[in-house]
Amino acid sequence: MAFRFDKLSVLIAEDTVPMQKLMASVLESLGVGYIYTASDGNRAFEQFQRFNTDIVIADWHMTPASGIDLTREIRTSTLSPNRMAPIILVTGYSALARVAEARDAGVTEFLVKPFSANDIAKRIAHVINKPRDFIDCTGYFGPDRRRRVMPDFKGPYRRFGESQQNASKSA
């Protein structure tokens, strides 16, 4: 399926200028209509507040504020214009503990370097075509972290205390 990204707005938070330019170039080649850039999480949050972009692509390692810091700010700040914006975190580290940390911060998708233009296009298409339900509970606000379909699961709820409404969303 061909996508039309001309109305899409994307914020790139990346501190390495060549990588920032590369990602912007890839987005331009995909036809993304509006591309904004920032060199760290703090500047990215300012841009996010100003432009309320549809998608955020953030590098994990930036100073003074990282992609994880940016994610937490977008998800929890009262100044965030869209707490449910899809956030794609880019990193060179794919260890399970890192993926879990990103997931628990509220990251929507994870993109490991090195990546191709096709990888970016797939992640963007995924967050558009398969938006995830959001969970708002004590200690966490972000996309539903449960992705596994468990065909052998026989009960009505997958977690203790889960309501029928949440159970049907996550199954």
Would you say residue 107 has pLDDT above 50?
yes
Q: Does some domain include residue 45? A: yes
Residue 93 and residue 14 share a domain: yes
What digits encode the pLDDT tens for the residues 124-142?
999 998 888 888 888 888 8
- CATH of residue 88's domain is 3.40.50.2300
What digits encode the pLDDT tens for the residues 64-105?
999 999 999 999 999 999 999 999 999 988 888 888 899 889
Helix (H) or strand (E) holding 41: helix 41-51
The residue type of 67 is: G
Residue 37 and residue 93 share a domain: yes
Q: Does some domain include residue 4? A: no
List C-alpha distances in Å: 106 to 20, 27, 48, 50, 100.
22, 23, 16, 21, 10
Residue 23 and residue 83 share a domain: yes
| Domain with 145 in it | 135-171
